[in-house]
Structure 1
Amino acid sequence: MPSATSSAPSPSSPWDVQRLPRADGRVFLVTGGNAGIGYFVAEQLSATGATVVLGSRSPAKAAAAESSIRSRVPGARVRTVRLDLADLSSLGASVDSLKVELRVELGVECLDAVVLNAGVALDDPPREETGDGHELMFGTNHLGHFVLTQRLMPLLSAAPAARVVTMGSFAAKSERLDLDDLQSRQDYRPKRTYGRSKLAQMYFGLELDRRLRAADSTVSSVVAHPGGALDSLTPSRPPVHVRTAGARLRGAPAAVLVQGKHAGAWPAVRAVLDPDVRGGQLWGPRAFGLRGKPHPEPIWPHLADTDVAKRLWAASCALSPSGV
């Protein structure tokens, strides 16, 4: 568990993943904060003194994650909110619930950052849909976060300098969007569809920052990705994650190239906390984009296509509930 120091690093100081800057009084929301990389993002942010809200579809899993964080981070300020990204029409009520929680329990009416981390990854056919009729991975990973961010914007805009941090995926680097088949009705291959859903998220994060800059907003948008992050290289956090001795031994050779999910959280955590991070940046692991400490990467060439980003934005608006 990283410890937190009393002051933020200067631009000339190297970022230390084990000694994070304090963030007392700030409030961060992590979607999917109950498991995987999202859990470790939440645990690490909790060590800074901030209040961390775990957004989760399952209250039971959120409670287990909250308990785990509290057992590892003395005095952790952790809360939960029910959040089902596959049900777009429910997100307004979830944000309303969060507003009440912040106002009544914490006495604040703003949000300093949201980490858009939650996601669905299917390995096998058949193609599945959300209750709204969207392909499950695209509908949850991209559209769910697209709508949620719009709903959260008043809370984010009320903070002095809030950040939206979108967690992409290294799997998106080799994919390209098919704007005529965003729902994968014509060509459904689970791994490709997953990669494209994460690519759509990354396009959204970059386009969001361009729109925020054009509106002279105090909110900024940053994109991050975890590199290669395996369960077998991830330390145990029972009952959230339990790594057996056998899994640890089997995963050891892979540690040359990739890392655990605790390290996969580092780029997003830095994107939230580092005062030198700027909107429109892409952050990932230092070593070949797969492992190591977080650093800024050049924007991938296909992500720099602003025409694709604008067309995706328009399509996302058309697929979203009215009022978004």
Structure 2
Amino acid sequence: MAGFSATTIPSQTGLIALVTGATSGIGFETAKALAAAGAEVIVASRNLVKGGEVIAKIREDHPGAAVRFEHLDLSSLASVAELAGRIVDAVPHIDLLINNAGVMAIPTRHETVDGFEMQLASNYLGHFALTMRLMAKVLAAPAPRIVTISSIAHRSGRIHFDDLQLKSGYTPWKAYSQSKLATLMFSLELERRAIAESLNLTSIAAHPGYAVTGLQSAGPRFGREGKISPLERVAAVLQPFFSQSAAAGALPTLFAATSPEAIGGVMYGPDGFYELKGQPALSRIAARALDRSTWRRLWDMSEELTGMRLQIPPEA
């Protein structure tokens, strides 16, 4: 996969892409590259002001780019439903669904309006519900791909089925690693189900390695009134040696979304030391993430929590 870059992406003209969390970091770089390659891109995120700024920036860099903003708060199932309703009415199909948005290492436990732990909701359950709601439009595309962003943190994660919302024993990394293990398992189980149902759908996971984005500060500062967190202090020391830019961190996502060589049921990440930075390559998936019985159990629980199920149109 050497030589892959944002400038070598195959033409995406005629394709429609929806990228969550695309007002900064990996999501922004992904949306910008897809728009530059000719795709119609929907930037779905919470911040309306930043959304407007991002749309203007992409259009400034790429005049004529077909890009627009849609409000989406993945921590709210109502917001997910509202966004999906607007999208279903607005587009004939979705060729690329990029489940990118997320939060990391919130210092103390917070619940969403739906009663979910914040990291699990924003990183995983919101994306699960969004994917289920948009599935008919995804399957209406000629060769759709769903790319879901995980993390190397999945390797230390556990799915705490006895306390999925971590009401006891919450720690920032316990919650984050669980949520990223969940996103990976979701991607793998979705590919398994697509094959079992003979669906024209490819589900792929990706991770950015250690990419310098707002993720390292937004989560750790959540509820701390902008105070610099210990994680940020450590990151400031490590970044010069082990990190890469957000643009480089977006390449595994872009490879999974656009490369003719990309395959389903795997994860792509950087090829360097501990997969922290480098060119896109197949990523090592932890053994516990390959347990299909856990995939199915998590899927069933996710259906129960979100009220959403995989609905396959008769024509799919």
**Structure 2 length normalisation: TM-score?**
0.86
Q: Evaluate the alpha carbon distance shift between residue 21 and residue 322 of structure 1 in structure 2; reply closer, same or farther with a 3 A threshold.
A: closer
Aligned to 1:119: 102
Residue 253 of structure 1 deviates from its aligned partner by: 6.9
1:1-324 mapped onto 2 (5 Å cutoff): 14-102=3-91, 109-125=92-108, 127-231=109-213, 254-288=239-273, 289-321=275-307
Q: Which whole-Å CA distance do the structure 2 matches of 1:159 and 1:231 have between them?
A: 31
Query: Greater relative contact order (Cα 8 A, min sep 6): structure 1 or 2?
Result: 2
- Tell me by how many angstroms 1:208 deviates: 0.7
2:159 alignment partner AA: L
SS of corresponding position for 2:163: coil
For structure 2, which runs of at least 5 residues remain unmatched after alignment?
A: 215-231, 311-316
Of all paired residues, the percent bearing the same amino acid is 37
Q: Secondary structure at the match of 1:166?
A: strand
Residue type matched to 2:261 in 1? D
Which ranges in structure 1 are unaligned for 5 or more consecutive residues?
1-10, 103-108, 233-246
Q: For residue 304 of structure 2, what is the amino acid of its counterpart? A: A
| Offset, 1:73 | 2.0
Amino acid at match of 1:114: L
Aligned mates of 1:322, 1:229 — CA distance in 2 = 32
Q: What is the one-letter code of the residue matched to 1:275?
A: P
For 2:283 and 2:119, the matched residues in 1 are separated by: 26
- Structure having the higher strand fraction is 1
TM-score, normalised with respect to structure 1: 0.84
Question: Alpha-carbon deviation of 1:231?
Answer: 3.8
Report the CA distance shift for 1:251/1:45 in structure 2 as closer, same or farther (over 3 A): farther
SS at match of 1:115: strand
What is the CA RMSD across the aligned residues, in angstroms? Answer: 2.2
Contact 1:17/1:293 (<8 A) preserved: no
The answer to whether the 8 A contact 2:132-2:308 is kept is: no
How far, CA to CA, are the matches of 1:253 and 1:164 in structure 2? 32
**Per-residue deviation, 1:121:** 2.3
Deviation string 1:159-209 (CA, Å, 9 cap, x unpaired) is 011011000112222222222121111220012211211111111111111
Q: Distance in 1 between matches of 2:3 and 2:60?
A: 29
SS at match of 1:20: coil
Once residues 45 and 286 of structure 1 are traced to their aligned partners in structure 2, the CA distance between those partners, rounded to angstroms, is: 22
The number of residues matched between the two structures is 291
